[in-house]
Amino acid sequence: MADEKKLFGVAALFDTADEIFNAAKKVNEAGFKNYDVNTPYPIHGIERAMKLKSSKLGYVTLFFGFFGASSILFFMWWALAVNYPLVIGGKPYFPLPAFVPITFEFTVLNAVVSTFIAMIAIVFNLPFNAHPLHDTNYMKNVTSDKYGVVIESDDPQFDENKVTEFLKSLGGKSIELIHNPEPKILKAFEPKFVVFLIIVAIITSASTYVTLNKFMYLPPFDFMLNQNKGSAQAESTFFRDKREMREPAKGTVARGFIPYAFNDPADTTEFYSDPLLPTKKVLKLGQRKFLTFCSPCHGNYADGNSRLRGFFPPGPTLHSAKVIGYSDGQIYNIITNGMQGIMPSYAYQTTRDERWAIVNYIRVLQRAQNPKPSDFSAISELIKESGNASN
């Protein structure tokens, strides 16, 4: 009885791929369920001969893929729209297109890692390094140039003598009884193992420190450390004023740059006119830049409905009589230099033409909120023309 418990199964070897193919089919037809076929290389169609069912790993991949996508999307939504909402460049709290790449990457990563863990830990029962077939003559042959079938002892129809005769009738050779190995208990805190871990930790830490802090600073790896350049805010030994950061030469203008004569928001700019015509292209540019830089404080329609309300002082409405009375040059000057209070200068974030485009778009918003009687007449004429055209 003790020997039967130790018996893992009965194995047989075959010489050719055709023989193992037919043997697998006969074993399946005989009604055996717990058996396996081992070959030195994949044999096309062997899974059909064994009538193997489709792997369930695909369901694991599908579940954890969906779980990864939904969890990372939920995390980004919670972090950016609930826990710490930020308006960046006029974008919404949850800009989905920007999150597509990280969602895709996390989905693939979660699905692949979960599938690998499921395959190793559940399907292969690993960590399991004491399989009965290890170190047997059967395994040495089927990993070289032979083909084999092993019928396990936990099969409902298993009988040692009947299985042995059955494998012989299929042409099996070198019939071998495979026994379960004696279990070995390994002590995790055995002194020798603990000392080994300590030595490995010391060697790893020391080699990492020497490599990153000493070795990488030796020739030829230090070629980028010593460069003939001046660092910002550093003292210079070449220039007379001992400053590395140089000021532009007096009286010079950078190529493509038009000097701006007004350096204060309160400067008189009534005669500083808009050089751009309010074409569709200019207004589109102005709308895009306005929504990016102006709308977080002034609102999408310049009505002071700030999306930063509660986090940052809102900007004033641009539909007041005071702002409507500003000249185009005054509005441009405010965008360029900033405004008294908390509005900064946007001279470095926008170009000259982009600021004038914003001015044009602000005028469109003001005209939409404060239409003139002539505007209604023009709209009526357009409606009549469109009606006549349809008739």
Which residue, 184, 212, 237, sits at the end of a domain? 184
Phi then psi dihedrals of residue 351, to 5 deg: -85, 175
257 lies in a domain? no
What pLDDT is stored for residue 207 in this prediction? 95
Number of Cβ within 10 Å of residue 383's Cβ equals: 10
Is residue 168 domain-shared with residue 285, that is, in the same domain?
A: no
pLDDT tens sequence across 153-182: 988 989 999 999 999 999 988 899 999 887
Per-residue pLDDT of the chain (391 residues; tens, 9 = 90+): 445 558 899 999 999 999 999 999 999 999 899 999 999 999 988 888 898 888 888 899 999 999 999 999 999 999 888 888 777 777 788 888 889 999 999 999 999 999 999 888 887 777 677 788 888 999 999 999 999 999 999 889 899 999 999 999 999 888 999 998 877 777 778 888 889 999 999 999 999 999 999 888 888 888 877 777 888 888 888 888 888 888 878 878 777 677 777 776 666 566 678 888 989 999 999 999 999 999 988 989 999 888 777 777 778 899 999 888 888 888 998 898 887 677 888 988 998 899 999 999 999 999 888 887 776 675 666 666 655 555 4
Find the CATH number of the domain harbouring 330: 1.10.760.10
Outline where DSSP puts E strands in 253-346: none
Domain termination residue (choose one: 128, 151, 184): 184
In this structure, the answer to whether residues 286 and 147 fall within a common structural domain is no
DSSP-assigned states of every residue in 202-251: HHHHHHHHHHHHTGGGSTTTTTTTS-S---TTPBPSSSTT-BSSPPPPTT
Q: Do residues 300 and 151 share a domain? A: no
| Token pair listed for 352 | 């000259």
Q: Domain of 365?
A: 280-378
Cis peptide before 296 (omega within 30 of 0): no
pTM recorded for the entire structure: 0.45
